[in-house]
Amino acid sequence: MGIRERLSGNEAAAIAMKQINPDVVAAFPITPSTEIPQYFSSFVSNGEVDTEFVAVESEHSAMSACIGAQAAGARAMTATSANGLSLMWEMVYIASSLRLPIVMSLVNRAVSGPLNIHNDHSDAMGVRDSGWIMLFSENNQEAYDNLLMAHRIAEHKDVLLPLMVCQDGFITSHSIENIELLEDEKVKEFVGKYNPEHYLLNDKEPIAVGPLDLQAYLFEHKAQQAVAMRNAKKVIAEVSADFERLTGRKYEFFEKYKMDDAETVIVCMNSTAGTAKAAVDELREQGVKAGLLKIRMFRPFPSEEVAEALKNVKAIAVLDKADSLNGAGGALFEDVVSGMYVANVHVPTVNYVYGIGGRDTTVSDIKKVYNDLNEVAQTGNVGNPYRYLGLRGEI
Same structural domain, 186 and 306: no
Q: Report yes or no on 394 lying in a domain.
A: no
Domain count, the chain: 2
Same structural domain, 173 and 190: yes
Q: What number is the average pLDDT over the span 321-332?
A: 96
Q: Is the pLDDT of residue 136 over 90?
A: yes
Same structural domain, 174 and 269: no
Q: Is the pLDDT of residue 312 over 90?
A: yes
Same structural domain, 205 and 337: no
What's this model's pTM, rounded to 2 decimal places? Answer: 0.98
Same structural domain, 263 and 184: no
Please give the residue range of the domain that contains residue 279: 254-389
Q: Report yes or no on 281 lying in a domain.
A: yes
Query: Which of 191, 162, 159 lies closest to 80 in space, CA to CA?
Result: 162
Domain boundary among 226, 247, 268: 247
Domain boundary among 194, 227, 247: 247
Domain boundary among 199, 223, 247: 247
pLDDT tens sequence across 16-60: 999 999 999 999 999 999 999 999 999 999 999 999 999 999 999
The predicted structure's pLDDT at residue 183: 98
Same structural domain, 266 and 380: yes
> Residue 348: is the preceding peptide bond cis (ω within 30°)?
no
Q: 271 — phi, psi (to 5°)? A: -65, -20
The predicted structure's pLDDT at residue 21: 98
Same structural domain, 258 and 279: yes
pLDDT tens sequence across 247-267: 999 999 999 999 999 999 999
Q: Report yes or no on 84 lying in a domain.
A: yes
Give whole-number Cα distances, 259 to 36, 252, 265, 313, 349, in Å.
35, 15, 8, 9, 16
Same structural domain, 237 and 163: yes
Same structural domain, 223 and 276: no
Q: pLDDT over 90 for what percent of the chain?
A: 98
CATH number for the domain spanning 52: value is 3.40.50.970
Same structural domain, 45 and 132: yes
pLDDT tens sequence across 80-123: 999 999 999 999 999 999 999 999 999 999 999 999 999 999 99
Q: Report yes or no on 355 lying in a domain.
A: yes
Q: Report yes or no on 395 lying in a domain.
A: no
Same structural domain, 221 and 301: no
pLDDT tens sequence across 150-189: 999 999 999 999 999 999 999 999 999 999 999 999 999 9
Same structural domain, 192 and 282: no
Question: Given pLDDT bands bounded at 50, 70 and 90, which one contains residue 321?
Answer: very high
Q: Report yes or no on 274 lying in a domain.
A: yes
CATH number for the domain spanning 385: value is 3.40.50.920
